[in-house]
Structure 1
Amino acid sequence: MKNILKITAFAFLLISFASCTDTIDPKVSPNGFTLNALNPTGPFVLSPLDGDNLLATLTWGPADSGVTTVSPKYTLEIAKAGTNFEKPIVANTPSTALTVVWQEGYINAILLANGFVPDAVADIDIRVKSVLGENTNNFVQYSNTLNMKVTPFAQLFLAFTKVGDNPANAPKTKSSSLYTSDCEGYAWLEVGTYRFYTSVGGVFQSSNPYYGDNGSGALVLNGAAINVTTAGFYLIKADISKSPTTYSLTVSEWGIYGLAKPNPTGVNRKMIYNTATKKWELTVLLNGGKPFRFRNTASTLILGAFDETKVGANYAGTVLSYNGKDIYLAGTTASTYTVTLDLNTPRGYTYTLVKQ
């Protein structure tokens, strides 16, 4: 019996020893790896017109940890230059690949989301992080560091400024997305001469580059001032991506139409522009449970409730869309409302309904 117990105990010891040797981690060593020079090298100035364009290709050699049976995962990290990656920003999806292609729009979004200022040079450091293993005992190595200088962009704004005035206080026009330059906005314009000013570092000032008329009704840098001969409320448009670049000034008066207004088959009920509030207003009897929309009385331009399918030229913000949905009134009876249309924020147009 004692012999059987001794044999059994010995067998368990053998099994235990075998188990331990099978789970011993392989030895790793920090032998390093190299992030290759940028291709192209920069500096880079990003553009809203080139969001899908290739910015740079980053490549590196495999990290040498002394282990060849398992591939590490690589993460590109960027940080403000000179901070020693105190707050690293991940700039790719971690993978075992040894190359990453950056597009302009992708890097632009990352920079803006992490506090870098549009239209100003961002001085950033880049490195690759190698991680071997999947648990808390990961083996981590870092590549050498490269430097990149890149100027991000914001959604394009142009300030339509009367000559002699401060562009910071002038009415603004805004593009429909990050990757377009189809700027528009609304404002009351006095008689005078105007220019489209750009922003630099997110700041509008009279020393910034500006666009004017090229003599043939198109825009050109440092062109002639644009004449406004009649005071009024205007839809202001400019597109600096076309060739030739374009602009337009259209008198814009607004009203409401639809089944909600009295005599729904008749003409628009014209709204009144309030020069103090800079909004269009109308107090009117409206039918409950019926729809209406806003319509420009000088054209077929229509603003309806937000419609997520309306993009590009039909994008007017997150409250109203061009050719958007019907706006319905609550209830089933007719009541008097004060209706207000606010077009002061470019591509951020809003309205209010206040029951009297």
Structure 2
Amino acid sequence: MKKILKISSLAFLLIAGVACENDDQTIAQAVGGPELITPASGTEYELSPANETNEATTLVWNHADYDVQTEVNYEVQVALAGTDFAEVISGGTTTNRFFTWSVAALNQVAIDAGLTPYTPGNLDVRVRGTLGANAEMESFSNVITITVTAYTTELPKLAVPGNHQGWDPPTAPRIASSGFGETDYEGYVWLDGAFKFVGPNAAGAFAWGNTDWGDDGSFSGVLAESGESDITATAGYYRVTANTTTLLYNIVPTNWGIVGAATAGGWDNSTPLTYNATTKKWEGTIVMTAGAYKFRANNAWDINLGADSDLDGSMNYGGPDLTVDADGTYNVVLDLSNPRQYTYSVTLQ
């Protein structure tokens, strides 16, 4: 009888213990959400790539209340204003009660949310709190609305589809404008037969059905959006320009070389480079002496490239002379495949 009582008592204690354990698992509940204190709703931010490492703002909030002493995970959430967070952009996560956005970070959040660069737009911001990895225990702060003028360092581009690559806009080579909002497109493209220009859609994708341009039928360098004809070129490597405001275009065949005191031809005759269709670069193994040189097309000075004097990451037309410091044989590479981001390398062998 005593054994039965002991077993019954042990069973009762085990059941009570399980019940207590289950009670412990349900004690943690979201009693109150975090309260976003700063920045104030209505704050405006005009961002610039010139100071993208600087602090743009620091968000500060009160702790979410989970009725237990435990660490809370926070996520800053962002959405286009007035969309009720239908599409949430994560602005960052932390276990602190604050989160700092650099200029670059806030700009990326704004672009990801869908704001148009250089145009003020409104974003809704809130803080989501969760306990551990339990997604059911989430709480949300109040919502603030901020105004952000974002920027982009990506140059607008046109695709150049045609016979040279199978008439496929998504994979076609690109030409780029000189800046956001500018329509003076330029780039270097291997052409072979007919081609057109195709603009991107609102999402930045290139496809037939977007705005596209061809020749107006006069074949005198004038673009047309409707009733256009294919533009044609004999096989070769071209400097291609197009302006979608003035509706003018031009293609100039180019063959590149180097010229200068460092080369055998001096400043009068270019030493030719060879186009590599696989790498899309101009290449050569050239004996050079210590001295100055530049890159130029067609053994003439109409199109020449020198040093990056404005420090924008691209060689400059008519830029300063380049130099080599020692005599020797050099591997010379000129890369014009990225529109308006022209680079070179000269490597001693």
- TM-score, normalized by length of structure 2? 0.57
Preserved CA contact (<8 Å) 2:217 2:229 = no
Cα separation, 2, equivalents of 1:251 and 1:206: 27
Cα separation, 1, equivalents of 2:321 and 2:110: 35
Cα separation, 2, equivalents of 1:158 and 1:266: 36
Mind listing any 5+ residue stretches in structure 2 that lack a counterpart? 1-40, 43-77, 92-105, 126-141
Residue 224 of structure 1: which of 211, 225, 228 is its match? 228
Which amino acid in 2 is paired with 1:320?
M
Alignment correspondent of 1:323: 318
Preserved CA contact (<8 Å) 2:287 2:328 = yes
Cα separation, 1, equivalents of 2:277 and 2:79: 48
Change (3 A) 1:285 1:167: same
Deviations 1:148-174 (A, max 9, x none): 9x9x99632101111662111111000
Asked whether 1:236 is paired with 2:237, we answer no
Q: Give the Å deviation of 1:224.
A: 1.8
Asked whether 1:336 is paired with 2:316, we answer no
Preserved CA contact (<8 Å) 1:126 1:147 = no
Preserved CA contact (<8 Å) 1:119 1:153 = no
Alignment correspondent of 2:186: 184
Alignment correspondent of 2:161: 161
Which amino acid in 2 is paired with 1:324?
G
Preserved CA contact (<8 Å) 2:110 2:123 = no
Alignment correspondent of 2:174: 172
Alignment correspondent of 1:194: 195
Residue 197 of structure 2 aligns to a residue in which SS? strand
Residue 189 of structure 2 aligns to a residue in which SS? strand
Cα separation, 2, equivalents of 1:324 and 1:146: 43
Which amino acid in 1 is paired with 2:197?
F
Alignment correspondent of 2:47: none
Change (3 A) 1:117 1:159: farther
Q: Give the Å deviation of 1:266.
A: 3.4
Asked whether 1:348 is paired with 2:341, we answer yes
- TM-score, normalized by length of structure 1? 0.56
Cα separation, 2, equivalents of 1:341 and 1:144: 50
Cα separation, 2, equivalents of 1:223 and 1:116: 37
Change (3 A) 1:252 1:303: same
Cα separation, 2, equivalents of 1:346 and 1:269: 24
Which amino acid in 2 is paired with 1:234?
Y
Preserved CA contact (<8 Å) 2:286 2:330 = yes
Q: Give the Å deviation of 1:114.
A: 4.0
Residue 159 of structure 2 aligns to a residue in which SS? strand
Preserved CA contact (<8 Å) 2:260 2:268 = no
Residue 231 of structure 1 aligns to a residue in which SS? strand
Per mean C-alpha deviation after superposition, the further-off stretch among 173-182 and 263-272 is 263-272
Alignment correspondent of 1:74: none
Q: Give the alignment of 1:97-112 within 5 angstroms.
A: 110=107
Asked whether 1:252 is paired with 2:254, we answer yes
Which amino acid in 1 is paired with 2:160?
F
Deviations 1:7-44 (A, max 9, x none): xxxxxxxxxxxxxxxxxxxxxxxxxxx98xxxxxxxxx
Cα separation, 2, equivalents of 1:203 and 1:118: 17
Q: Give the Å deviation of 1:326.
A: 1.2
Change (3 A) 1:112 1:304: farther
Cα separation, 2, equivalents of 1:117 and 1:260: 50
Residue 204 of structure 1: which of 187, 206, 216 is its match? 206
Preserved CA contact (<8 Å) 1:281 1:341 = yes
Residue 264 of structure 2: which of 243, 262, 265 is its match? 262
Deviations 1:51-73 (A, max 9, x none): xxxxxxxxxxxxxxxxxxxxxxx
Preserved CA contact (<8 Å) 2:216 2:229 = no
Change (3 A) 1:126 1:195: same
Residue 230 of structure 1 aligns to a residue in which SS? strand
Q: Give the alignment of 1:38-57 within 5 angstroms.
A: none
Deviations 1:285-344 (A, max 9, x none): 1112x11110111551110110118xxxxxxx514111111111123xx20112111111
Preserved CA contact (<8 Å) 1:254 1:296 = yes
Cα separation, 2, equivalents of 1:154 and 1:112: 16
Cα separation, 1, equivalents of 2:175 and 2:188: 8
